[in-house]
Structure 1
Amino acid sequence: MVDQAHLWDARTAAEYDTPGEGMFAPDVLGPTVERLTELAAGGHALELAIGTGRVAIGLREVGIDVTGIELSEAMIARLREKVDASEIPVVRGDMTTASAGEGYSLVYLVFNTIGNVLTQEQQVECFRNAARHLAPGGCFVIELGVPDLRSLTPGTGGTLEHSEPGYLLVDTYDTLAQILISHHVHFDPPVDGSREAGIGRTPQRYIWPAELDLMAQLAGFTLESRWADWDRSEFTAASRSHVSVFRLSTLDR
């Protein structure tokens, strides 16, 4: 089993934030915060795998009380450079088992992070842990990519996802285990015809939308809505990602 805490080390935490760009761009982060604020409905929110606070800080700024669960000490340390524990408390631990109390109106897990849990069994436990934290009728929101297996050509097991000077992103697939490994290749400009390269790898267990819905049912949730993105675009067979809102039963648990 991959040590996820080791993957999210001090170097990764230091390089994680890209203010104003990528997943920190206003047109990405703004709709995320807006939708989650609506779903929190004035209640307390819990972020699983809170990381460096990309989303939680935005929610706190609009008046939503947020608590986090995070496995990586390095990511928590980076968050603490921005806000202290009185503003956004964090429990260090595994999002499948760690407890941060009960009675939340919203639990959320964004940017494919449930894929960091590398077995189906533990992914189900993630849903069950979310349910333990929620008040009856609360919601669990997951942002997740749709596996792009259609891009695999016969006889190959990988795709080139991104290319720019000094960087390549290659994804490889184990379709039996549903494991996707992203290979991040960083290389220096050529010197005398040679290139020095470094490779980082991040594994994920990808989940089909229908499988995700069954995991939700096992934990007492029903699917309330599914969008292609945080702007509530229609989810279709061509969508590359989805935002799924699951509602917990109002019956006593």
Structure 2
Amino acid sequence: MSQLWDAETARRYDTPGVGMFAPELLRTTADRLAALADGGRALELAIGTGRVAVPLAERGVPVVGVELSPHMVDQLRTKVDEATIPVVLGDMSSATAPGRFSLVYLVFNTIGNLLTQEDQVACFRNAARHLLPGGAFVIELGVPDLRRLPPGVQATVWLDEPGYLALDTYDVLNQQLVSHHFRFGDGTEARLGRTPQRYVWPAELDLMAQLAGFELESRDADWDGAPFTAESRSHVSVYRLPG
């Protein structure tokens, strides 16, 4: 998986001001996480370039990260130094960060980068090991889009905008998908990126949480707290260790 997040991908990852870097989205995300940290320390699994960690740290929350790709950490270091946001290089399912935390969080579908159920369960258990009693584990994750797959069709287009096309291909037997990202200009050439994932239904995620000793505290459709319904495309789920 680490080879997917190479130096070129890391350099292109940030899209300041738009998409997942939109200021309003980052504000509501960081505000919600700061409230859940409740004055304590936070650990971000798969911290990447610091999209969420940097604004969270700016709110006074001490943040530590775990990240598999050194290239993503290099981009983070153009924003903050090691003293401001320390990062442990390693796999989010097994790496150990020093100390204990009030909050562990994993955003933007990243648990899907772990391609087996075993590794995803290990990620929950790793989060639990890092938390203080009563601590929270927050996961942001999309809902599998299988209702849009007619019989015999294995792909869905989930974004189509000028210069960018994104689609997912599904292997429903093995619960795998590959996200395909096409970026193109006015000519005939295009750039393609692919990201394999293991998709997870909310109910399966809840069972993983139980295996690690968590209880589901809340599930919303977004960081603003909109109700989660059968039509929601994603969810923000908060799991809590017994206090």
Q: Give the Cα separation in 2 of the matches to 1:164 and 1:28.
A: 19
Q: Give the Cα separation in 2 of the matches to 1:171 and 1:203.
A: 9
2:119 to 98, 118, 122: 122
Q: Is the 8 A contact 1:167 1:185 kept in 2?
A: yes
2:222 aligns to what? 229
Q: Give the Cα separation in 1 of the matches to 2:77 and 2:145.
A: 36
**3-state SS of paired residue (2:61):** coil
1:204 aligns to what? 197
Q: Give the Cα separation in 2 of the matches to 1:74 and 1:115.
A: 20
2:75 matched to 1:78? yes
2:150 matched to 1:157? no
How many angstroms does 1:93 deviate by? Answer: 0.3
Which of these two proteins has the greater Rg computed from alpha carbons? Answer: 1
- Pick which of 204-213 and 181-190 moved more: 181-190
- Aligned pairs for 1:45-56 (under 5 A) are 45-56=42-53
Q: Give the Cα separation in 1 of the matches to 2:48 and 2:2.
A: 11
2:31 aligns to what? 34
Q: Give the Cα separation in 2 of the matches to 1:26 and 1:165.
A: 21
**TM-score relative to the length of structure 1:** 0.93
**TM-score relative to the length of structure 2:** 0.97
Sequence identity (%)? 67
How many angstroms does 1:187 deviate by? Answer: 3.5
- Aligned pairs for 1:169-248 (under 5 A) are 169-190=166-187, 195-248=188-241
RMSD: 1.1
**3-state SS of paired residue (1:155):** coil
Q: Which amino acid aligns with 2:208?
A: M
Q: Give the Cα separation in 2 of the matches to 1:222 and 1:27.
A: 29
1:24 aligns to what? 21
**3-state SS of paired residue (1:169):** strand
Structure 2: tracts of 5 or more residues without a match? none
Q: Which amino acid aligns with 1:177?
A: N
Structure 1: tracts of 5 or more residues without a match? none
Q: Which amino acid aligns with 1:103?
A: R
Give the total of aligned pairs: 243
- Pick which of 145-154 and 41-50 moved more: 145-154
Q: Give the Cα separation in 2 of the matches to 1:185 and 1:17.
A: 16
Q: Which amino acid aligns with 1:17?
A: D
Q: Give the Cα separation in 2 of the matches to 1:68 and 1:134.
A: 14
**3-state SS of paired residue (1:230):** coil
Could you give the per-residue CA deviations for residues 213-249 of structure 1, whole angstroms, max 9, x where no partner exists? 0000000000001101000010111111100000012
Q: Is the 8 A contact 1:102 1:132 kept in 2?
A: no
Q: Is the 8 A contact 1:144 1:241 kept in 2?
A: yes
Q: Give the Cα separation in 2 of the matches to 1:75 and 1:16.
A: 9
Q: Is the 8 A contact 1:31 1:231 kept in 2?
A: yes
